[in-house]
Amino acid sequence: MKRWLSIGGVCVVLLAFVLPFDARATTALDIDGETEAFAVRVEYDLPLPGSIGTEPHVVGEIRRTFGENAKGLAGAPTDFTAITGGAVYDPWSTVNGNDGPLAVSGNSTGIKDPIDPHNGLPTAECFYPGQPATTVSWPRDLRADTKPIPPTSYANAQCGAGPTTQLTAWSASDDVPGSPTGALGSVLHTGALDATSLLQPEHGVVTSTARASAHEVSVLGGAVRIGGVEAEGTSTAQGPGGADGTNSHVALSDISAGGQVFSVADDAITVAGNTFPIDSSAGQAFLNNVNAGLDATGCKLSVLGPANPYPQGFLLSRKPPQIGVAKDGTFAASMHGGMLILCDLPQDVTTPTTFTPQRVQILVGFVYSMARATKGDAGFGTGDFLAGAGSINTPSKTVDVPGPSAAPAPVVAAKTDTNNVPQTQALPASAGRTIRYRPLARSTRIIFIVFGILLLIVATNVASRRLKELVGS
Amino acid sequence: MTATQAPRSRFAPRVQPRMEYLSSQAFVRSVIEISSAATISGYAVSRVTAHRLDPTATMVVLIGAAAINTLLVSLYAFFVALSDTVDGLVTKDGTEKPSPDADVLSAGRLWGRVLGSGVVGGAWGAGLTFLALAALNRRESHFLGLFVGVFIAAGVASITAGLAATALGVRFGLDVPKAAAVRPSRRRAWRDLALPFSALFALVTGAFTVLLFHDYHVGAAFSRHVLTEKEVLADLPIQIIIAVAVANFALGRAGRAESKLGLVSLEDPERQPTTAVFGIQALVAVVLVLLFVGGALVRFLLPAYPTLVQTVIARSAVVFFAALFAGGIAYTRGALNAKVVKR
């Protein structure tokens, strides 16, 4: 009886140790979160699209599977684009190239430039683990000689454990003289711009939020004026059996175009106290009137909405995402666009610049957010001892993410009216994705177990000898 | 039928046979280790944003807790047992063995024993950690898993080391070997005991600091967990008080026991009077000086946004000096007061 009680006691102790570590008993979920938002994106047709910039811009991402990582980018503006990048990266490339002594007519003078010709980029980036936080103050951080200049824009990116990504971008104006987007002045003027984003799991819910805003937007010297732009989106996912949800919207207030003054919010147009849906006949008729009034300026505008196809080139800084809400609480994502303005540029605007774009398209207000919480790979559980070693390496896990068909998102903009720019690039509906995990290799696990048992035997032997000597039987 | 004892009388020190004393000490140590494991695990997971520790952090916590707990326990368990035995609270019961003719109180043997216990404890924790890593299979651990792991790794190692140290202290107290040497009180207090003890306590504080702040953001101004001077020194008074209290508890008992056994000599009897019992005024002074002078100095030297290494150094330094001063004073006070009582 005593022996069986002892064996039972040992079993209870072993179970108490093993069960809490049991992979199948854990409640940890694999999580993902993504966000992107900007207030204004300007692209020129040269005829190849070469973007002048996106401002302010936040792009965030968090992941947790077997480990955690977070990354984020905040730019005011971002340095993604060819023209901005060219101007900032290589300011004197025609004179002396990127490095080395000054050159005159291609001949090296042997004289080193008095200041470092390399520019700091107007973008703050963070990675976790790795680079937890970055702050860029512009143009103070452009070069050593610009340090005394008061900042006109600011970007901060922080990534941390959790995982968490927090982003902030702010700019006094898009066309500050001397700034990388100074050339925009003749095409686009804005007042203060700012964008923020926060991605983190909190109290068991993956939350991704992003927001961007701009004030006093003016296109082509006032052909189109927008008093305020607010783009905001949030997605949450609690995991299997839990809740999930997403919302995104872009509000444009005090729009003055084609002799009309109106606002756009919640997919509806408000004019002189009357509100009607954008895709209604009244809404389309109103937009036709606005575009007719804009004919003299060479501009046309269309209102976007919570749709997944957008007439941009590359809209997101990532591959086309899934949009929709899963019924089981594991996934939610949405994106929303504001207004697209397409203008044929008059000669007097393009002449003063060193390039002569023929057309410019401006996307005002965009937000995308995604949250996912799925049950992770089963890993190695207590039952695997009984099932045999073959089940240690779980081969793979398939996460079926609902595509647009699972939760159809309405395409708001009208399909036939001339006020709409042709929607040339629809994002394809995606099939489910397969994500593969790599648990510990079987040999590694065996080495761990053998090494652990050896250490325990040695330590127990030393301790028991010592105890026996000191305490006695 | 026995009358029900009041808790005070039940837990009051009483004379016990050796084996019963060892059993009671093991029981008390088990209770302490359960709460200690809960505290360590709670701090470890609470400081991570998602309350999950990755396998590497789990490994560091398990091995570190086992090694450091064992180091501390094997030191003060020895002196507590020695003190209790010298005070007559432990009696022979026929199970004890005679002491070998070796001076187990010499600084080399004492600290060698402590370090040896720490190494064995660390090996035990490491062995268990490797098994845990194999079971975790790259998964993160949560509070319950960590608590059980810390208790089995650190708790079992500490209980075992504590039992061994207690048995050694009892044996030495019951049968003082001839090789036990008389040592001058100042050298014994400051060089042999207080200095290594304070280094050990600084190590404990450093490890605890890493546990507390490992997930804080360094150099960031906009975040929830930011390592700032104010944050890292917020609990300075508590740290100092704990260091002084533990030093007084362990080394005060050491001084009293060794003095009662006649193993302490006074180098300067005129300045080391044994005519009256010394109070705790000097220890209170240590707390106040460390708090107002030491704390101000650390605040002056520490940058507003310190790194984790700077934080560990700052907090460990304060605790080092608190334990050093308090340990030396406590040993001397215990030794002198024991001589007063003897009269």
Which helix (H) or strand (E) covers residue B107, if one does?
helix B107-136
Three-class secondary structure of residue A378 per DSSP:
coil
What does the alpha-carbon distance between residue A368 and residue B284 come to, in Å, rounded to a whole number?
61
Q: Cβ B135–A380 below 8 Å, yes or no? A: yes
What does the alpha-carbon distance between residue A232 and residue A247 come to, in Å, rounded to a whole number?
8
Kind of pairing between the strands at B264-265 and A193-202: unpaired
Q: What is the pLDDT of residue A227?
A: 92
CA atoms within 13 Å, Cβ hemisphere of A120: 23
Mutation to test the B interface, candidates A14, A194, A455, most B Cβ within 10 Å: A455
Q: What is the mean pLDDT of residues B3-9?
A: 67
Nearest residue in chain A measured CA to CA from B122? A459
What does the alpha-carbon distance between residue A459 and residue B124 come to, in Å, rounded to a whole number?
5
What does the alpha-carbon distance between residue B326 and residue B333 come to, in Å, rounded to a whole number?
10
Are the C-beta atoms of B18 and B96 separated by less than 8 Å? Answer: yes
Q: What is the mean pLDDT of residues B62-85?
A: 92
Q: What is the pLDDT of residue A388?
A: 40
From first CA to last CA, the distance across chain B in angstroms is 43
Q: What is the mean pLDDT of residues B147-161?
A: 91
Whether the pLDDT of residue B77 is over 90: the answer is: yes
Least confident segment among A11-25, B5-19, B36-50: A11-25
Tally of CB atoms within 10 A around A120: 18
Q: Cβ A456–B131 below 8 Å, yes or no? A: yes
Residues on chain A touching B145 (C-beta within 8 angstroms)? 20-21, 26
What does the alpha-carbon distance between residue A65 and residue A116 come to, in Å, rounded to a whole number?
42
Q: Is A132 on the interface with B (CB under 8 A)?
A: yes
Q: What's the sign of the alpha-carbon dihedral B171, B175, B180, B182?
A: positive
Q: Using the structure block, give the residue that is written with the tokens 């100092």.
A: B240
Which residues lie across from B202 on neighbouring strands? Answer: none
Which helix (H) or strand (E) covers residue A130, if one does?
none
Q: What is the pLDDT of residue A386?
A: 46
Question: What are A3-50's pLDDT values in tens digits?
Answer: 788 778 777 766 665 555 544 444 467 889 999 998 888 776 654 444
Residue type, A76: A
What does the alpha-carbon distance between residue A246 and residue A324 come to, in Å, rounded to a whole number?
8
Which helix (H) or strand (E) covers residue A350, if one does?
helix A347-350
What does the alpha-carbon distance between residue A315 and residue A302 come to, in Å, rounded to a whole number?
16
Nearest to A223 by CA among A192, A187, A271, A177: A187
What does the alpha-carbon distance between residue B208 and residue A161 come to, in Å, rounded to a whole number?
19
Q: Using the structure block, give the residue that is written with the tokens 């050990």.
A: B200
Q: Is B144 on the interface with A (CB under 8 A)?
A: yes
Question: Taking all residues of chain B, what is their mean pLDDT, rounded to a whole number?
Answer: 87
Question: What are B238-284's pLDDT values in tens digits?
Answer: 999 999 999 999 999 999 999 999 999 988 877 777 777 788 888 99
In 3-state terms, chain B is what percent helix, strand and coil (to 5)? 70, 5, 25
Three-class secondary structure of residue B272 per DSSP:
coil
Q: What is the pLDDT of residue B157?
A: 92
Q: Cβ A23–B163 below 8 Å, yes or no? A: no
CA angle A205, A207, A211 (to 5 degrees): 165
What does the alpha-carbon distance between residue A93 and residue A113 come to, in Å, rounded to a whole number?
12
What does the alpha-carbon distance between residue B261 and residue B333 come to, in Å, rounded to a whole number?
15
Which tokens belong to B210? 């890493």
Gyration radius from chain A CA atoms: 29
Residues on chain B touching A456 (C-beta within 8 angstroms)? 124, 127-128, 131
Are the C-beta atoms of A304 and A413 separated by less than 8 Å? Answer: yes
From first CA to last CA, the distance across chain A in angstroms is 22
Nearest to B120 by CA among A465, A462, A471: A462
What does the alpha-carbon distance between residue A211 and residue B188 come to, in Å, rounded to a whole number?
67
Which residues lie across from A114 on neighbouring strands? Answer: none
Percent of chain B with pLDDT over 70: 93
Question: What are A287-342's pLDDT values in tens digits?
Answer: 888 888 888 888 888 887 665 444 444 455 556 677 888 888 889 998 888 888 88
Q: Which residues of chain A from 147 to 186 reach within 8 Å of chain B, CB to CB?
A: 156, 158, 160-164, 166, 168
Residues in Cβ contact with B201 at an 8 Å cutoff, skipping those fewer than 6 apart: B243, B246, B247, B319, B320, B323
In terms of C-beta density within 10 A (0-12 exposed, 13-18 middle, 19 or more buried), how is residue A335 classed? Answer: buried
Q: What size, in residues, is chain A? A: 473
> For every residue of A242-259, which 3-state class applies, written as one string?
CCEEEEEEEEEEEEEECC
Whether the pLDDT of residue B324 is over 50: the answer is: yes
Q: What is the pLDDT of residue A445?
A: 86
Which tokens belong to B154? 């650190």
CA angle B218, B224, B228 (to 5 degrees): 40
Residues in Cβ contact with B93 at an 8 Å cutoff, skipping those fewer than 6 apart: B17, B18, B19, B20
Q: Is A280 on the interface with B (CB under 8 A)?
A: no
Three-class secondary structure of residue B125 per DSSP:
helix
Q: What is the pLDDT of residue A410?
A: 33
Q: Cβ B49–A21 below 8 Å, yes or no? A: no
What does the alpha-carbon distance between residue B121 and residue B107 come to, in Å, rounded to a whole number?
21
Dihedrals φ, ψ of B189, to 5°?
-65, -50
| DSSP secondary structure letter of residue A84 | H
Taking the C-alpha atoms of B219, B222, B226 and B230 in order, what is their torsion angle to the nearest 10 degrees? 90
Nearest to A38 by CA among A342, A365, A368, A370: A365
- The predicted complex's ipTM stands at 0.83
Q: Using the structure block, give the residue that is written with the tokens 């180091």.
A: B71
**Banded model confidence at residue B314, pLDDT cuts 50, 70, 90:** very high
Nearest to B71 by CA among B207, B188, B235: B207
Which residue ranges in chain A fall short of pLDDT 50?
A: 22-27, 47-50, 79-86, 94, 96-98, 308-314, 378, 380, 384-437
What does the alpha-carbon distance between residue B272 and residue B263 come to, in Å, rounded to a whole number?
16
Q: Is B140 on the interface with A (CB under 8 A)?
A: yes
Q: Using the structure block, give the residue that is written with the tokens 């039952």.
A: A383
Q: What is the pLDDT of residue A403?
A: 38
